[in-house]
Structure 1
Amino acid sequence: MSLTIAIAVAVAATAAWAGLYGLILLITRSSLPTPAPATMDLGPEPPAVVNLLANRWTRPDEDAAEATLLDLAGRRFYEIRQPGDDPVHSTIHLPGTPPSDAALLPFEQRMLGRIRAAAVGGVVPLTALTFRDAGQARGWRRRFDAEVVAHARRLGLSRRRISPAQVALLTTTALVPSLAIAFAVGQQIERHAAPEDKGGGYAAMVMLTIVLMSTFGLLSGRYRGDRSTPAGRAVAARWLGVRDWLDGHDAFADLPPAAVMVWDRYLGYGAAVHVAHAATAALDLGMGSRYLVWSSYGGHWRRVKVRYPRVLDRYGQTTKTLVKGGVIRLVIGAVLAGVARTLPNVVPTELGPLDSSYSGDDISTFTSPTRLIAAALATLFIVWGLYRIVRATVDHHTPVEITGEVLWIEVWRSASQGEDSPSIPWLHHYAVDDGTADRTVAWGLPSEWSGRSSPGDVVRFSVRRWSRRVVALTVVREGGGRSLHRGFDTTDNTDNLVLEALGERKRGAAPVAIRDQAATAVLSAEDLARAIGAPIKVREIGPLNGLYETMDGKPVAMIQMQRGTMAKMWWAAAKRGTPVPGIGDEAFMSETGGAIRKGDAVVILVLHRGGRVAAPHLPWLLGQVATRL
């Protein structure tokens, strides 16, 4: 067979497999059934599941969480009050004696836990429920949606879009394009490779076949959402009838969230089927504004305006850097002063002597524009340099201690490592409310401190006011927001369904928590690349180990993670070197790596010879691990 024919067969086989995949996606699409007659009778399904059905089983949208919030209010787990004319200013009030939440579903418990964690004195503004970290927001929403899908499957209302039989069919038929592509490569090797290179070429062809089969298999088993069941279509038709009944009330779309205290559960279901427009518009459970942040410091809620300094280069700098900059300015000033004395004496011809007692040279000394400009610049740089040195010295010896609530943390400045290398963040904006005013200016937090606190924590930290640099940090009290991004407990079969809905557990596999899926999930290749200053790739070695390599395959680091009883044995051997306070429960580092313990998890990072340039950045790397455990 000619090489051209082999390539044509490979292309045709791949196209045929892609066509089969597309056909399966086409026939597994779900559509909404014909609505049942309009009715006011509510069914037993929770609003979030109703939202999934109303969205054609693709996935719950943002109204699912908002509908759950309203439904819990309708069931009197808390009250929603509107003190003024604007629904956005509504507040949630928890009762003194909370009702039992034992019967709540996992996603309802997640929502109620979020509200209780944010409440201060039993009160939380609706807009204070927004997140202050993008990863935390995505993780919370992802788990919430997965728990909704899992419950819909338990009720028999939803099922995985691509069934196990269809996945098996796609995986099996993927053998055809894999072998066809490998055969075309083999033809190329047979025709053009030297005899001594053919053995290695055929070995590479076998590896290519395995890689192609794995790739096609991953595409086949990738989670593509859910689809309807006969029972689900019947339930969806009934809820579409409820939607039509609610939509028939002209004023329903304009009801604010506080109206749930009158309309009970109807408002939550209206939000689920997208007819409670005003109520959902007043709710925001996603990312909040970095410029106007809610603070509960001092025991009461208020909004704090945050300004983020960016222009002046002194912000966040060390004393050494500031003094060095002052010396450089003094040198520039001295050079300009010397230049001013050596400039030629040029006097405009039309300007005669002002006084017969002065010679032409004396007059030019005072009237030469170039000398005046150079002298002015020299004076400016000398004064500027002296001021910078004095202020930096005073700033260094007069730190101020502040206690307050962390409002926002984000990367401020990064150090470039070259055109082809990622930059390393060395400074973060650190906005803190100390309770003295409704405005604040963010401080400069060095990266080695960035993982030691989270928004919502109450911290005590030392700062240098002129440079606005944080030099010490202690967490006084962890904020309730930390619980929002921690993993959920693995209990009963519901969590197994959740993991399957997320596409992170194959059928028949043992139940494993999402956070236990892979050690490499707590430290990305990008993080290590920033610390090393070169592109890095990561390779998982089972769920407990990961290997970080350069792009040419040289190992630079290995990460290991363990939980439970085994982790205690690991920690006994790993806790050596220099303690690093404020990161996780305990952390240690040395020139060859570091280790961190947080809760029941232990993570060990070993730096190989090529990765030990990252040793100075170990506090930052361990901080990144701590935030993801």
Structure 2
Amino acid sequence: MLWLVAFGLALLATRNGAVTPGAATQEFGADPERPAVVSLLGNHWRGVEHAAAATLLDLAARGLVELRQPGDDPARSTVHVTEAGRTASGLMPYEQRVLDRVTASAANGGAPIGAIAFRDDKRAASWNTALRREVIAEARLRGLSRVRFAPLLGGALLIGAFVPGALFAVAAVMGGHGVRAALFVGVAPGAALAFLLSRALGERATPKGLERAGHWAGLRAWLTAHEDFAQLPPASVTVWDRYLAYGTALGVTSLTGRLLGFDSGDRRRVWSSYGGTWRPVRIRYPRLRPGFGGSTPRLLQLAAAAGVVAVCLCAFATLRQPDWVVAVDAHSGGSLRRPGLVLSAGWVSSALLGLVVAGKFSRWTLFVAFLAMMPGNFASGTHGWFSDAAAHEGPLLLELAAITAFGALATYLLVLACLERREPGTITGEVLRVESRSGKDVARFLALDEGNTDLTTAWALPATSQGIATGAQVRLRVSRGTRTIRSAELVRAAMPEGDRVKAAEQNAS
């Protein structure tokens, strides 16, 4: 409790002061901050959401890159590195980072602005984290920002977070509990408080920072007064110059900020230059496709499971007799032969047998099966759907549909298992995305651009496969029935995204 009080007082003492917006102005000032730093001030020191996009627009306003819009659609705009950009020096670290990323994407003369986005989530996260650190470093250098908790205060709070845990551990040992129990009660409270402390760490304003934030709030007011400014496309930087960059940093230009994304991009629409020309490739992910990524033994096992469900449902529906149930009244309300309970038990048991054969049975399966039987268990009255269904002779329409569906699924999986015996086909292309799926041993999605279509369906990459990265050119041996990758051969390694030097070396070769 004392730690929480101290933590609350620390938060109260280090909170940001209020920003007093200045008068609407179009002036930047004598020594204006770069748009990336303005994005930190404009976001109340909580983040730099539009810093990368604003920096790109600022580089365009300074002639290091060029943004072109060939048609009416701003999303089709392209980015090009100028000669001044290729020989630029003396840039801030985050400016060089953005320029490197654009150079790598537009290495062959130009690229769509959508190609700036990363294809790998981890790479995008690490790139943006590094950019944020570099922006904050300059803000601190200018005296506009400072760490929220001083090292002495942060260290004291961190040490104090584990004091209750240490006391709990001593009490547990003195109470006769084992060492494991003592460690658990000792570490758990400290870890929770340390996590709470880590969430509060960040930047806070300085007096100078609050003053400059007020000035840029005045510029935001001036830009907001222009009704069409929010919908300006990226190529309008040639007209609006640095105002477009500052407007993006301050969150005024919603269209430009959305189009110039330096994140992981749209996972269903990726720009690719494989084949010679840039084009958007749409990706389909067959999440519900039966047998996707399955081997022959696994397909046979799933076919057997579907067959078991179909046979059990057929047997239950055929052998079921009306005298299996009793009329539900005040005297037989608790009977195990209630119509709803009998029907639910037959259907759920069939499904459970199928799950056992498929190898998907777990402790949660019984819980779900228990919930599945509840509607029939609570059904009461001498009339109703369950009573009428139990009195019906032969399979119900619902049962016939289920038997047909599971029978067709078993047949389909058997056909796939037979097709898996064929010689795998060979395809070559560039890896657009590699995405994980839920489960440690589950095959991943690999989207490949073969260069001859604008629509591709992801393949199943075995979880044990290593060394395949986005941007690499590979030759795959695949089974088209299950869309499974059997083997992969690297044709050309992927270039690290955002690496200017390696991009130049690769073009020279």
| TM-score above 0.5 | yes
Amino acid at match of 2:41: L
Q: TM-score, normalised by structure 2?
A: 0.69
For residue 432 of structure 2, the aligned residue among 407, 412, 424 is: 407
Q: Pick the aligned partner of 1:99 from 86, 95, 101.
A: 86
Task: Please tell me the residue identity of whatever aligns with 2:476.
Answer: F
Read off the aligned partner of 1:273 and give its amino acid letter: L
SS of 2:33's partner is coil
Of 423, 427, 433, 2:443 maps to: 427
Instruction: Return the match for 1:55 from 40, 43, 48.
Output: 43
Letter in 2 for 1:115: V
Cα offsets for 1:357-395 (capped at 9, x unmatched): xxxxxxxxxxxx99xxxxxxx999999989976765555
Query: Which TM-score applies when normalising by structure 1?
Result: 0.57
Can you list the C-alpha shifts for 1:374-422, whole angstroms capped at 9, x where unaligned?
Answer: xxxx99999998997676555534321111111222235x6xxxxxxxx
Whether the aligned pair in 1 keeps the contact of 2:275 and 2:452 (CA below 8 Å) is no
Do residues 253 (structure 1) and 218 (structure 2) align?
A: no
Q: 1:471 to 1:19 in 2, by over 3 A?
A: same
- Give the drift of 1:471: 0.9
Q: In 1, are the aligned partners of 2:64 and 2:83 still within 8 Å (CA)?
A: no
Select 2:12's aligned residue among 20, 26, 47: 26
Query: Is 1:229–2:206 an aligned residue pair?
Result: yes
Residue 464 of structure 2 corresponds to residue 448 of structure 1: yes
In structure 2, the residue matched to 1:283 is 260
Cα drift, residue 67 of structure 1 = 0.9
The equivalent of 1:533 in structure 2 is none
Query: d(CA) in 1 for partners of 2:412 and 2:182?
Result: 69
SS in 2 for 1:425: coil
- Kindly provide the amino acid, as one letter, of the partner of residue 94 in structure 2: F
**Contact 2:290 2:413 (C-alpha < 8 Å) held by counterparts:** no
Deviations 1:2-35 (A, max 9, x none): xxxxxxxxxxxx2x32122112112211134323
1:565-624 per-residue CA deviation (whole Å, 9 max, x = no partner) reads: xxxxxxxxxxxxxxxxxxxxxxxxxxxxxxxxxxxxxxxxxxxxxxxxxxxxxxxxxxxx
Q: Aligned pair in 2 of structure 1 residues 312, 240: CA closer, same or farther (>3 Å)?
A: closer
| Deviation of 1:77 (Å) | 1.8
User: Do the aligned residues in 1 keep the contact of 2:291 with 2:413 (CA within 8 Å)?
Assistant: no
Q: 2:124–2:264: 8 Å Cα contact kept in structure 1? A: yes
Query: What is the CA-CA distance between 1:167 and the residue it aligns to?
Result: 2.4
Between the aligned partners of 2:207 and 2:404, the Cα distance in structure 1 is 85
CA distance in 1, matches of 2:282, 2:198: 47
1:204, 1:107 → 2: CA distance? 48
Alpha-carbon distance change, 464 to 209 in structure 1, aligned in 2, over 3 angstroms: closer
Q: Judging changes above 3 Å, is the alpha-carbon distance between structure 1 residues 405 and 19 closer, same or farther for their aligned structure 2 residues?
A: same
Sequence identity (%): 39
Equivalents in 1 of 2:206, 2:81: separation in Å? 38
Map of 1:551 onto structure 2? none
Alignment partner for residue 82 of structure 1, among 60, 69, 79?
A: 69
* Superposition map of 1:124-523 within 5 A: 124-170=111-157, 181-182=167-168, 186=171, 193=175, 197=176, 224-322=201-299, 392-393=417-418, 395-412=420-437, 423-449=439-465, 451-480=466-495, 482-483=496-497
**Distance in 2 (alpha carbons) for counterparts of 1:403 and 1:389:** 29
CA contact (8 A) 2:291 2:416 kept: no
SS of alignment partner, residue 453 of structure 1:
coil
Whole-angstrom distance in 1 between the partners of 2:421 and 2:162: 68
What residue identity is the alignment partner of 1:51? Answer: S
Aligned residue identity for 1:440? T
Q: Per-residue deviation at 1:101?
A: 3.6
Distance 1:379 1:53 in 2: 63
Distance in structure 1 (CA, Å) of the matches to 2:153 and 2:460:
54
Judging changes above 3 Å, is the alpha-carbon distance between structure 1 residues 281 and 204 closer, same or farther for their aligned structure 2 residues? Answer: closer
How many Å separate the matches in 2 of 1:470 and 1:206? 46
Match of 1:405, SS state, is strand
How far apart in 2 are the matches of 1:300 and 1:178? 61
- 1:366 aligned partner: none
- Equivalent residues of 1:120, 1:296 under 8 A apart: no
Are residues 217 and 249 of structure 1, via their aligned partners in 2, closer, same or farther at CA, if it must alter by over 3 Å? closer
Distance in 2 separating the partners of 1:435 and 1:172: 58
Richer in strand (by share): 1
Q: Give the number of the structure with larger relative contact order, counting CA–CA contacts within 8 Å between residues 6 or more apart.
A: 2
How far apart are the structure 2 equivalents of 1:214 and 1:279? 42
Q: Are the aligned partners of 1:121 and 1:299 in contact in 2 as well (CA < 8 Å)?
A: no
Paired residues of 1:95 and 1:122 also in contact (CA < 8 A): no
The alpha-carbon distance between structure 1 residues 52 and 312, as it changes in their structure 2 partners (threshold 3 A), is closer
Give the partner amino acid of 1:50: V
Q: 1-side partners of 2:145 and 2:310: how far apart?
A: 75
**CA positional deviation for 1:425:** 2.9
Q: Relative to structure 2, which stretch is displaced further, 63-72 or 393-402?
A: 393-402
Distance in 1, Cα, partners of 2:159 & 2:460: 56
Contact 1:40/1:245 (<8 A) preserved: no
Partners of 2:146 and 2:203 within 8 A in 1:
yes
1:118: Cα distance to partner? Answer: 2.3
- How far the C-alpha of 1:110 sits from its partner, in A, is 1.9
* Inter-partner Cα distance in structure 2 for 1:211 and 1:94: 52
Read off the aligned partner of 1:399 and give its amino acid letter. Answer: P
Q: Report how many residues are paired.
A: 416
Structure-1 separation of matches of 2:256 and 2:296: 52
**Residues 293/215 of structure 1: CA separation in 2 closer, same or farther (3 Å cut):** closer
Rounded to whole Å, the distance in 2 between the matches of 1:263 and 1:27 is: 41
Equivalent-residue separation in structure 1 for 2:165 and 2:308 (angstroms): 68
Amino acid at match of 1:476: V
Give the Cα separation in 2 of the matches to 1:177 and 1:317: 51
When the two chains are superposed, the root-mean-square deviation of aligned CA atoms in Å is 4.3
C-alpha displacement at 1:465, in angstroms? 1.9
TM-fit CA distance, 1:160? 0.3
Inter-partner Cα distance in structure 2 for 1:267 and 1:107: 18
Mapped partners of 1:379, 1:280: distance in 2: 52
Shift in Å, 1:219: 5.5
Match of 1:3 in 2: none
Q: Distance in 1 between matches of 2:58 and 2:419?
A: 57
Q: Measured at CA, do residues 58 and 381 of structure 1 come closer, stay the same or move farther in structure 2, by a change above 3 Å?
A: closer
Q: Secondary structure at 2:138's aligned position in 1?
A: helix
> Partner amino acid for 1:78?
V
Asked whether the equivalents of residues 120 and 301 of structure 1 are also in contact (C-alpha less than 8 Å), the reply is no
Equivalent residues of 2:117, 2:262 under 8 A apart: yes
Aligned to 1:64: 51
2:318 maps to what in 1? none
Q: Is the 8 A contact 1:120 1:299 kept in 2?
A: no
1:258 Cα deviation from its structure 2 partner: 0.5
Between the aligned partners of 2:414 and 2:160, the Cα distance in structure 1 is: 73
Are residues 168 and 467 of structure 1, via their aligned partners in 2, closer, same or farther at CA, if it must alter by over 3 Å?
closer
| Closer, same or farther: CA 175–325 of 1 in aligned 2, 3 Å | closer
Counterpart of 1:7? none
Instruction: Quote the offset at 1:431 in angstroms.
Output: 1.5
CA 321–173 in structure 1, closer or farther in 2 if over 3 Å, else same: closer
